[in-house]
Structure 1
């Protein structure tokens, strides 16, 4: 079962994010505060949405996503920030069900694309996405500003 997350799911979302970070070898980068996370997901102007995959009443995976926009298509899109299924539930269709749900939302919302990034070493995920017909965008390089570099640029 796939369902939209609610504010009451914040502890579950936080736990799943931390587990994803461990899997991606990035646990040292997890610094969020749960109240701040709740504000950004369920406050007056949500920055992102979360859907949960459940089995027997317990969350076994999640997808966190937000609206993007394609100037070339002239349409909104959905950017999938994170997708994670507990290791013991992988191969049971939960990841695909989350992606099917996101594709349905994209179509319902008139989006022109659904896109995401994948760590280049994560061959199980890369293989899974290929089976769905996803195309890697090898010619694009992601850039990021955080911390001091972001603050420095903001100061002009």
Structure 2
């Protein structure tokens, strides 16, 4: 069994999107995915890509992906990496493919000056939580992620704030 980890290219957009859909389906959230392959193509492979991705292959077959982007910690004063999505096909799980992808992302990040890696995991995804803990990726009990999306985001961006005179 030959495992290869490589940088995703624009030709991998369909694989990436299919993996995102499978990942969402695995946590009963498939209906929440609104991205399209065209979104990934436009935002990940243009002049100013918003993300990068790794592709894992076993004997030439797609086995998984890891999608990530740079971040910065004002408290640490250092750049880092945020892993948005990591997915391994069920038939390839237990073969250290996820660990290899995270190691590759960390290695590339370190070479570019990154000092940490962060990610989020669904509260009910205990298998993934155990996997991350095993790798030394600790759960942060003092942080909670908040988000604003869609119309609420647009309303915030357009909100007129009364300025003090």
Q: TM-score, normalised by structure 1?
A: 0.96
Q: 1:92 aligns with which of 91, 95, 101?
A: 95
Q: Is the 8 A contact 1:70 1:112 kept in 2?
A: no
Match of 2:64 in 1: 61
Unaligned runs of 5+ in 1: none
Match of 1:45 in 2: 48
Which of residues 99, 105, 124 is equivalent to 1:102?
A: 105
C-alpha displacement of 1:4: 0.3
Instruction: Name the counterpart of 1:145.
Output: 148
Equivalent-residue separation in structure 1 for 2:27 and 2:8 (angstroms): 23
- Structure 2's unaligned 5+ residue stretches are 160-165
Per the TM alignment, residue 131 of structure 1 is displaced from its structure 2 partner at its CA by 1.1
> Match for residue 70 of structure 1?
73
Q: How far has the Cα of 1:75 moved from its partner?
A: 1.4
What RMSD, in angstroms, separates the aligned Cα atoms of the two structures? Answer: 0.9
Match of 2:118 among 115, 123, 131: 115
CA distance in structure 1 between the partners assigned to 2:36 and 2:131 by the alignment: 32
Match of 1:9 in 2: 12
Q: Which protein shows a greater Rg?
A: 2
Q: 1:135 is matched with which residue: 126, 138, 159?
A: 138
In 1, distance between residues paired with 2:19 and 2:136?
26
Q: Report how many aligned residue pairs link the two structures.
A: 156
Question: Could you tell me how far 1:134 is from its partner in structure 2?
Answer: 1.4
Structure 1 SS opposite 2:42? helix
Q: Distance in 1 between matches of 2:82 and 2:65?
A: 14
Shift of 1:33: 2.3
Could you tell me whether the CA contact under 8 Å between 1:53 and 1:94 is conserved in 2?
A: yes
